Amino acid sequence: MKYLFAAACLFCSLQGIPQLFPPAAYPRNYFRNPLAIPMSLAANFGELRPNHYHMGLDIRTQHRVNLPVYAAADGYIARVSVEPGGFGQAIYINHPNGYTTVYGHLNAFFPALAAYVSRQQYRLQSWQVNLEIPAALFPVKKGGLIAQSGSTGGSQGPHLHFEIRRTKEDINLNPLLFGLPVADHIAPHLVRLAWYDRNRGIYEQSPHEVPVEIEGPRIAEGSASRSTVEMKTRPSLLSVGATRISFAISAFDTQSGSDNPNGIFEASLYEDERPVIGFQLNNISYDDTRNINAHIDYKTKETGGPYFQQLFFLQGYPLPTIYSTAGDGTGSVLDIGDGRPHKIRIGVRDTEGNETVLSFGVQYAPSSDTGGASSKDSMTTAVFPAKRFYPGMLDGLEMADCAFYPGERSLYDSVIIGAGVAGYPGSGLSLPGGVSAVYRIGEPWIPLLDPVLVRMRPVSPGDSLRGVERMDTTAVVMVGFHGASREVERPTWKNGWASARYREFGDFQLVRDTVPPVVSFPGAPEGALLNKASRIRIAVRDNLGATRHFRAELDGAWLCFTNDKGLDWIYRFDEHCLPGPHTLRVSVEDVAGNRTIKELHFTR
């Protein structure tokens, strides 16, 4: 059984009040600021992002690129990665004390490392690389220059993404627990409180928001000591129409001298002064980061609401978790069926011990607000075949020409999921080239951990040609889409059925794509003289935006083009292109298998 509850974890603070989390025991002042300017954060560890927690610090670089980046401590360069998204260009340094530091979105590596990476890219014939580097090759000293900062990969502006990991388990740790020089005397801001009826599924209700306010003036910033802010609800005693409830909060944290809204470190809930449950963003692995979708109220966020961080966990939430509970863990649901007032205290803390405390009472009153269904509730279950699914369950829903099967670890909470035909080829919902109905499966606001298997077969109304026995499937792809999100998969085919896996519910359709990608050379006409150019740029456009293969050869030899952010492909002239006449041959393929080959003749 995978869904064991977290073991009790009670520790005592200096005041003798039981605490849910032990104090962090990481080395302090071992790592230095990796930049030469004062440390200011655009994002901290555990900040809430789509499908992941922020796994390090985003350190501001004064809106500039090419600031020198320094090794945070002695060690050796253990890994270098280059990719269109993610960290862009990144360096991993292993340190002798068992930690790894990561430096992302870099513009350039130091010259000897850059030359090494380039040689490996030509050896592997791939610009995108993930290179494990032998320990002896690039030892570094604390404060040694390793790179220039940038904004490569999944970055929206210049900054340095900095992580600290435990090397052995590859677990990311909160860097602010290592005593880095970031002053913070400001308590976190708690802006919303909500309760949920735990006799119902989390996706089958909306949060009940309760107004909160600060008691007395907020303590001014600037003191050298820790801040504490007291808050209360309005009214101070909540009457709720449910016997089993849980709470969630919206909160953010700021550091001294910065009003940037960062993530909170820790929140704990006490009932009648006994600790019940808390979460702490101390360590998270990349394997677990997607479970943020069961930490936040995913439905509320996905339907345009704010982030709520849950002071409870869901049935399908896999261990290890960021949560700690007292007793057997069932206390993450508060049973207030006795009808008496219960005293609740929620404390929100940052890594420096600044704290905001919200105190209120809650009482069951049968005639009160019961948490009825909201207007955001499912449309598909009302009009389509539907059934209830549970975490840990292996089941599916099968219709005439479409079926779906969540995995055992796909769902976090029980929920009714419906599916049916939302449109036919030629209708407004259909994608160009659609060769199946548009099937609507579930709701985009039901999060998936493991992907759901979607199967369907081509069919069109009034067409006697059904199935694929007489149909060419080579250029048929499956597209999952909702809102601006679109995912194109090359399906596997069996007995006329196409199958592919998706991590989001939405609309699904089979599409015949016979349009090859379009390749052009902006600024470099055929026969161009490029002796004064610094680079060659290749633009690739695909009708479905689904390119899966790119290769460029100069006079028959692989040539390294970069592809930062998945935009244009760029080659900067170097020793791989000497003066004289050349032939550049570019081959691009889309997910459907359509290929374009284009040549450019030029003189350097």
Output 40 or 315, the one with its CB closest to Zn ion.
40
Chain centre to alpha carbon of residue 478 = 24
Q: How many residues of this chain interact with Zn ion, rule: CB under 5 A?
A: 2
CB of 237 to Zn ion, least distance (A): 42
CB of 263 to Zn ion, least distance (A): 12
User: Looking at 58-66, 187-195, 334-342, 465-473, which segment touches Zn ion (CB under 5 A)?
Assistant: 58-66
Output 176 or 452, the one with its CB closest to Zn ion.
176
Name the pairing type of β-strands 89-94 and 57-60: unpaired
CB of 534 to Zn ion, least distance (A): 30
Three-state secondary structure along 98-127? CEEEEEEEECEECHHHHHHHHHHHHHHCCC
User: Looking at 52-60, 86-94, 110-118, 204-212, which segment touches Zn ion (CB under 5 A)?
Assistant: 52-60
The answer to whether the CB of 35 falls within 8 A of the CB of 103 is: no
CB of 248 to Zn ion, least distance (A): 25
Output 58 or 350, the one with its CB closest to Zn ion.
58
Residue 161 as a binder of Zn ion (CB under 5 A): the answer is: yes
Q: Could you say which of 21, 47, 53, 58 contacts Zn ion (CB under 5 A)?
A: 58
CB of 71 to Zn ion, least distance (A): 19
In b/e form, how buried is each residue of 433-450, taking b as 16+ CB within 10 angstroms? bbbbbbbbbbbbbbbbbe
CB of 156 to Zn ion, least distance (A): 10
Which residue of this chain has its Cβ atom nearest to Zn ion in the complex? 161
Output 95 or 161, the one with its CB closest to Zn ion.
161
Contacts (Cβ under 8 Å, ≥6 apart) of 16? none
Give me the phi and psi of 218, to 5 degrees please: -70, 135
d(CA 110, CA 146): 5
CB of 31 to Zn ion, least distance (A): 17
User: Looking at 157-165, 244-252, 454-462, 472-480, which segment touches Zn ion (CB under 5 A)?
Assistant: 157-165
Output 58 or 401, the one with its CB closest to Zn ion.
58
Give me the amino acid identity at 464: S
User: Looking at 57-65, 244-252, 307-315, 574-582, which segment touches Zn ion (CB under 5 A)?
Assistant: 57-65
CB of 566 to Zn ion, least distance (A): 18
User: Looking at 159-167, 208-216, 261-269, 452-460, which segment touches Zn ion (CB under 5 A)?
Assistant: 159-167
Output 161 or 455, the one with its CB closest to Zn ion.
161
CB of 175 to Zn ion, least distance (A): 11
In residues, how long is the chain?
A: 604
User: Looking at 53-61, 432-440, 456-464, 568-576, which segment touches Zn ion (CB under 5 A)?
Assistant: 53-61
CB of 90 to Zn ion, least distance (A): 11
User: Looking at 50-58, 202-210, 310-318, 486-494, which segment touches Zn ion (CB under 5 A)?
Assistant: 50-58
d(CA 78, CA 80): 7
CB of 103 to Zn ion, least distance (A): 11
**From residue 511, how far is each of 50, 459, 475, 490, 500 by CA, in Å?**
28, 11, 8, 10, 13
Give me the amino acid identity at 397: L
Strands of 259-341, DSSP E: 266-271, 274-280, 283-285, 309-310, 323-325, 334-335
Output 158 or 331, the one with its CB closest to Zn ion.
158
**In the numeric block, which tokens belong to residue 203?**
């996706």
**Cα torsion for 349, 313, 346, 249, to the nearest 10°?**
80
User: Looking at 55-63, 67-75, 293-301, 587-595, which segment touches Zn ion (CB under 5 A)?
Assistant: 55-63
User: Looking at 4-12, 155-163, 200-208, 285-293, which segment touches Zn ion (CB under 5 A)?
Assistant: 155-163
d(CA 445, CA 449): 13
Output 6 or 146, the one with its CB closest to Zn ion.
146
Output 44 or 227, the one with its CB closest to Zn ion.
44
Burial class (CB in 10 A: 0-12, 13-18, 19+), 23: exposed
d(CA 370, CA 241): 4
Question: Of 157, 151, 77, 161, which Cα lies nearest the Cα of 120?
Answer: 77
CB of 59 to Zn ion, least distance (A): 9
d(CA 481, CA 489): 11
Give me the amino acid identity at 247: F
Output 43 or 478, the one with its CB closest to Zn ion.
43
Output 33 or 243, the one with its CB closest to Zn ion.
33
d(CA 11, CA 326): 10
Output 72 or 397, the one with its CB closest to Zn ion.
72
d(CA 157, CA 64): 9
d(CA 557, CA 122): 10
Residues 512-571 that bind Zn ion (CB under 5 A): none
Contacts (Cβ under 8 Å, ≥6 apart) of 470? none
Output 58 or 443, the one with its CB closest to Zn ion.
58
CB of 545 to Zn ion, least distance (A): 25
User: Looking at 153-161, 262-270, 317-325, 450-458, which segment touches Zn ion (CB under 5 A)?
Assistant: 153-161
Output 103 or 127, the one with its CB closest to Zn ion.
103
CB of 591 to Zn ion, least distance (A): 29
Residues of this chain that interact with Zn ion (CB under 5 A) are 58, 161
